[in-house]
């Protein structure tokens, strides 16, 4: 039996994460979920959105499945997500983006994954006021660049992907992005079967909108990765389907990309797919590869069939009803 920290989160969190838990259990994977409270409920109960015991639980279990957590604005709380990444040193943010057969989309055949460096770049938090303005430092180290590059090439190898594209602005950020690109090139030597190329970030944005199907693994520093991740989520029509994994050396957090969507909370209409797929990524991470694949196949099949979809995808099923259909398809 494997212990996994479970955070339901805010807004639609309870509904969509309950679906994920139900589906995971239905695969037969032997998991003990340890529930922890974070977000608004934690503020009410403990006076802070991210109590220390949540972090301790994840540190102990080394893996968490997390719902959308709201950081209350204007009360001096640090972002829950940023704090978790820092505390657990979750250096790789991984976001797969794939078109589903059966959905009406602007594009076909997109199957890419974005690997974003999660610990430095413009998020290093080195910012200060100067005379007449303010300045920030974009920290890029060789070590962190090599670490994220290795993650990207390992993933490419594991998933039989063929190409890694490094995104940068080395024509302007001549020193920092040179460090990044040199590190990527150095790591690439150990992965000769995978093609490596690079693209300036602005050109990448245009190419991704024009020919997204040409790309495979995108590797980027923190802010570029952040922006391109959302751009790519938009290419496949959205929030209800997109997951993100935050991976570190000794721990990982799996979650949906969407937020707490308070406007539709408690109405049984939210699409639980992103959370269910986050559950599949979690299963895969802890060694339940077969169970993970079962879930992914069930979702793909259901969407392709097109008869049983949630509202955001043009259907009329509620969260619970949709979850039932996913479970029926697991076999
Ligand atoms: P937060 O402040 O927690 O980010 P938000 O209101 O910005 O919450 P998002 O999740 O970022 O919510 O999404 C924006 C909108 O997209 C929501 O208001 C909701 O209508 C829709 N949405 C988000 N997630 C889902 C989902 N899983 N199923 C259906 N609709 C969703
Ligand atoms: Mg939001």
Pocket of ligand 1 (CB under 6 A): 16, 68, 70, 239-240, 258-264, 270-271, 274, 312
- Which of 236, 254, 270 terminates a domain? The answer is 236
Residues 137 and 210 in one domain: yes
Q: What are phi and psi of 57, to 5 degrees?
A: -60, -45
Is residue 125 scored above 80 in pLDDT? no
Distance 194 CA to ligand 2 centre (A): 35
| Residues 31-70: b if buried by 16+ CB within 10 A, e if exposed | bebeebbbbbbbbeeeebbbbeebbebbeebbbbbbbbbb
Looking at the chain, the whole-number percentage of residues with pLDDT higher than 70 is 99
Average pLDDT value for the chain = 94
Q: Are residues 188 and 202 in the same domain?
A: yes
Is residue 182 one of the residues assigned to a domain?
yes
Q: What share of the chain is helix, strand, coil (3-state, %, to 5)?
A: 45, 20, 35
In degrees rounded to 5, what are phi and psi of residue 98?
A: -145, 135
Q: Which domain holds residue 295?
A: 1-90+241-331
**pLDDT in the model for residue 163:** 98
- Whether the Cβ atoms of residue 50 and residue 42 lie closer than 8 Å to each other: yes
> pLDDT value at position 74?
67
Classify residue 96: in a domain, yes or no: no
Atom of ligand 1 nearest to the CA of 68: 3
Lowest mean pLDDT among 27-36, 94-103, 273-282: 94-103
The reply to whether 99 falls in a domain is: no
Q: What's the mean pLDDT in 174-190?
A: 98
* 230 within some domain: yes
Probe residue for ligand 1, chosen from 7, 74, 261, 270 as the CB with the greatest number of ligand atoms within 8 Å: 261
The minimum-distance atom of ligand 1 relative to the CA of 311 is: 29
Give the Å distance between the CA of 244 and the centre of ligand 2: 14
> Structural domain tally of the chain?
2
Q: Which atom of ligand 1 is nearest to the CA of 12?
A: 27
User: Hey, which residues does 144 pair with through a beta bridge?
Assistant: none
Q: Are residues 22 and 60 in the same domain?
A: yes
Instruction: Give the domain CATH number at 297.
Output: 3.40.718.10
Residues 6+ apart with CB under 8 A from 270: 12, 15, 16, 240, 261, 264, 310, 319
Q: Are residues 83 and 186 in the same domain?
A: no
Instruction: Render pLDDT for 189-226 as a digit per residue (tens, 0 to 9).
Output: 999 999 999 999 999 999 999 999 999 999 999 999 99
Same domain assignment for residues 60 and 140: no
3-state class of 229 per DSSP? Answer: helix
Closest ligand to C-alpha of residue 20 is: 1
User: Which ligand 1 atom is nearest residue 256's CA?
Assistant: 27
Which pLDDT value is given to residue 124? 78
* 159 compared with 82, residue with greater pLDDT: 159
Say whether both 231 and 268 belong to one domain: no
Q: What pLDDT shows up at residue 79?
A: 83
Mind listing the pLDDT tens digit for each residue in 57-70? 999 999 999 999 98
Domain boundary among 180, 215, 236: 236
Both 142 and 81 in one domain: the answer is no
The closest residue, in CA terms, to atom 15 on ligand 1 is: 261
Does any domain span residue 175?
yes
Residues 208 and 263 in one domain: no
């Amino acid at each position: 039996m494997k212990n996994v920290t479970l955070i339901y989160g805010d807004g639609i969190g309870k509904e969509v994460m309950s679906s994920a838990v139900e589906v995971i259990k239905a695969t037969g994977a032997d998991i003990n979920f340890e529930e922890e409270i974070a977000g608004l409920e934690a503020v009410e109960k403990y006076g802070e959105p991210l109590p220390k015991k949540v972090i301790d639980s994840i540190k102990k279990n080394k893996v968490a499945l997390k719902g959308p957590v709201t950081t209350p604005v204007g009360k001096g709380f640090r972002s829950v997500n940023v704090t978790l990444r820092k505390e657990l040193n979750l250096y790789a943010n991984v976001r797969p983006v794939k078109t589903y057969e059966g959905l009406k989309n602007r594009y076909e055949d997109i199957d890419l994954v974005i690997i974003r460096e999660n610990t430095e770049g413009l998020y290093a938090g080195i910012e200060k006021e100067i005379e007449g303005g303010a300045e920030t430092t974009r920290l890029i180290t060789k070590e962190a660049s090599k670490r994220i590059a290795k993650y990207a090439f390992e993933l490419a190898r594991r998933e039989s992907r063929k190409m890694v594209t490094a995104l940068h602005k080395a024509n302007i950020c001549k020193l920092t992005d040179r460090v990044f690109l040199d590190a990527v090139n150095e790591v690439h030597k150990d992965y000769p079967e995978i093609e490596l190329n690079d693209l300036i970030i602005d050109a990448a944005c245009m190419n991704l909108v024009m020919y997204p199907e040409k790309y495979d693994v995108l590797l980027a520093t923190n802010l570029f990765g952040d922006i391109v991740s959302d751009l790519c989520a938009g290419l496949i029509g959205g929030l209800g389907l997109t997951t993100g994994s935050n991976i570190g050396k000794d721990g990982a957090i799996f979650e949906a990309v969407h937020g707490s969507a308070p406007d539709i909370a408690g109405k049984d209409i939210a699409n639980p797919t992103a959370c269910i797929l986050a559950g599949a990524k979690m299963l895969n991470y802890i060694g339940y590869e077969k169970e993970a694949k079962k879930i992914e196949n069930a979702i793909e099949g259901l969407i392709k069939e097109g008869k049983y979809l949630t509202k955001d995808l043009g259907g009329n099923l509620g969260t619970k009803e949709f979850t039932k259909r996913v479970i029926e398809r697991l076999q």
